[in-house]
Chains A and B, each alone.
Chain A
Amino acid sequence: MRNWGIKGAALSVAALVAMLLGACDRDDQQIKVYRVAKAPLEETPPAAEASMPTNASSPNADAPAAPPSAQRPQIQWDVPSGWSSAPASAMRYASFAAEKNGEKADISVVTFPGDGGSDADNINRWRQQVGLGPVDSVDALIVPQHAGALHFSTVDMAGPTARVLAGWTRQNGRAWFFKLTGPPRVVEQEKSNFAAFLQSVHL
């Protein structure tokens, strides 16, 4: 009888210690290192209210729209037909999506006070996003484009699986970046729409 008690106690304490040790080695406390294939262009997940759990009773109830901010910098443009508005995240002024044959392109409008970083840094960052290596001189890649009184710098860069068209302008101490990214085929189809979009911008 006494042996059983000691065995039982030892077994129980051993089980508890094992659990405590296991708990101390939890994944969420460990720094992990891994190698992964280059990430494809990823879109920003929409805000939580845009998604619905499948056990919700009224999945079509519209989430309340964010009130327009009176403090936002003023800009106007014409959205090409075929582009749909996508939820803007905190650091995006606006987002659109264009879809052709099941492929999706992401159009973003981002603005920063100041110059928004050097052209070389920005272009090399976009090159990385589409799987291209950095270049020392970016001057040869930049094509100027005029839209009314605005002067845009534009680039068109295609990687193995993705292509980016970007246009940017600096006005009144603020930089505006317009970017179209996606699979090469849909970007090619949307190229004229993107050019028209830049032409329609008024600051």
Chain B
Amino acid sequence: MLRKLIAIITSLKLTIICLVAAMVLIFAGTISQVHLGIWEAQQRYFQSFFVWWPPEGRGFQIPIFPGGHLIGAVLLVNLIAAHAKRFQWAWRKLGIHLTHAGLIIMLAGGLFTDLFAVESHMRLTQGDTKNYSEDPRRMELAVINTTDPELDQVTAIPEAVLRRGGTIEHKSLPFRIAVRHYYQNSRLRMVDEPGVTLQPIANQGPGAQVIVEPVPRATGVNDRDLVSVALEIIPAKSAPLGTWLVSEALDVPQTFSCDGRTWQLVMRPARYYKPYSVTLQKFTHERYLGTEIPKNFASKITLIDPDRLVNRNVLVYMNHPLRYRGETYYQAGFEKDDRTSILQVVRNPSFIAPYVACIVVAAGLLLQFGYHLIAFSRRRGPVAA
């Protein structure tokens, strides 16, 4: 049994199957971008262990094809196992070993980047200070206990948890949150607008005067879904307080009292808090003289980290990111008033893997071909005059 398993995971056939599956997956994933958009297609086909059918809904789903993560992981296992099985130490094979090791590092690095890298944005207008970045593609419901005059206690519930529906309980909350309606993409309209026939799904806060219309998923590269959710707040010891509508489009805070404390509900882009702060001192947008062609974008920021006694100015510009505490800040965008800068914040624990992999593979190939070249020239002997 074990021998059979080893034979399978070390076989060249498995490599071929994985490569063919990867080709099919890339083809299907590329075609699906027409309807799903690039972001959703990446999530469903490449950044998943399986492609599921049916893709939508909370009901029964079956895996119909291996996803990018699974194919990559099996390829990696296959490569390691096959190499280990056939491994024979000899100096003349050092080049081959190094080349394989480089490929393993490359594959493992790619997989780890997909699994563990986090990308977010920090949007700063000149003078702004922030200690968090946001992921505009991923929403969260922030339930904030604002009772303390100094500190807010935030319970951040990811959109993925809301999407599952049901009732949410957490030890930090003296109430349960029942998800009554979930809209992946929606449009909000005032209930008294002409032509509106739907009824509000909330009975508390401004959502009680708003209706929610479901609309198809956003598929453009720069389009985003407007997630809206109706939530019922159910205290542990009393009757439900009512149903609130939360949506990024509702920018008025929604407050209620429960258990003698004051709470706020906010739907917002998921936040990643940092133990340091970043202040934008100046954003520069230079153009070539007499034209509107951009020449340079730069953000002068002040980095303050009380734990490490850091207080310094940094200039972030194209191809010159700031690397700090495992995160990299790139100059990613700006707003048209030329006063607001958008920095892309990337946390990628395996960012070094492609560099190491390239060096190891290059060294391996040089050794292998160098060894053959020397052996060949020795066999050939001196050239007759």
Contacts and interface: CB of A to CB of B under 8 A. Distances in A.
A53 B221 CA distance: 12
B115 A36 contact: no
A54 B85 contact: no
B84 A54 contact: no
Contacts of B251: 44, 89-92
A54 B294 contact: yes
A90 B249 contact: yes
A50 B336 contact: yes
Interface stretch (B3-11, B356-364, B369-377): B3-11
A31 B155 contact: yes
A188 B113 CA distance: 50
A11 interface: yes
Contacts of A58: 292
A146 interface: no
B84 A5 contact: yes
Given A52-B334, A59-B285, A15 B77 contact: yes
Given A4-B85, A8-B10, A110-B252, A23 B49 contact: yes
A50 B156 CA distance: 28
A35 B222 contact: no
A83 B156 CA distance: 36
A93 B82 CA distance: 65
A33 B154 contact: yes
Interface string A85-114: 000011110000000001110000010111
A20 B112 CA distance: 11
B296 to A, nearest CB: 9
A144 B125 CA distance: 35
A37 B262 CA distance: 16
Contacts, number: 188
Interface residues of B, number: 82
A8 B85 contact: yes
B342 A51 contact: yes
B51 interface: no
B188 A31 contact: no
Contacts of B190: 112-113
B21 interface: no
Contact of A46 (B146, B222, B318, B335): B335
Interface stretch (A129-137, A147-155, A189-197): A129-137
A134 to B, nearest CB: 7
Given A22-B115, A54-B294, A54-B297, A112 B206 contact: yes
Interface in A48-86: 48-54, 58-60, 63, 71
Interface residues of A, number: 67
A5 B127 contact: no
A16 interface: yes
Contact of A29 (B49, B161, B335): B161
A60 B154 CA distance: 39
Given A19-B111, A46-B335, A48-B222, A9 B5 contact: yes
Contacts of B178: none
B71 to A, nearest CB: 12
B154 A36 contact: yes
B76 A15 contact: yes
Contacts of A110: 252
Contacts of A29: 158, 160-161
B83 interface: yes
Contacts of A54: 294, 297, 318, 331-334
A53 B333 contact: yes
A49 B222 CA distance: 8
B318 A52 contact: no
A27 B118 contact: yes
B209 interface: yes
Interface string A17-35: 0011011001111111111
B336 A131 contact: no
Contact of A59 (B83, B205, B292): B292
B127 A23 contact: no
B238 interface: no
A59 B288 CA distance: 13
Interface of A: 1, 4-9, 11-13, 15-16, 19-20, 22-23, 26-39, 43-46, 48-54, 58-60, 63, 71, 89-92, 102-104, 110, 112-114, 116-117, 121, 124-125, 128-129, 131, 133-134
Given A71-B194, A92-B251, 10 more contacts: A11-B81, A13-B9, A33-B155, A34-B154, A46-B335, A49-B222, A51-B340, A113-B190, A114-B209, A133-B149
Chain A to chain B: the 7 pairs with minimum beta-carbon distance, closest first: A8-B84, A90-B249, A12-B77, A5-B85, A54-B297, A8-B81, A12-B81
10 contacts: A5-B85, A7-B84, A8-B10, A9-B10, A13-B77, A15-B76, A32-B155, A33-B155, A34-B156, A114-B209
Interface of B: 2, 5-6, 9-10, 49, 69, 73-74, 76-78, 80-85, 87, 108, 111-112, 115-116, 118, 123, 125-127, 131, 138, 146, 149-158, 160-161, 168, 170, 172, 188, 190-194, 205-206, 209, 222-224, 226, 249-253, 255, 262, 270, 273, 285, 292, 294, 297, 318, 331-336, 340, 342
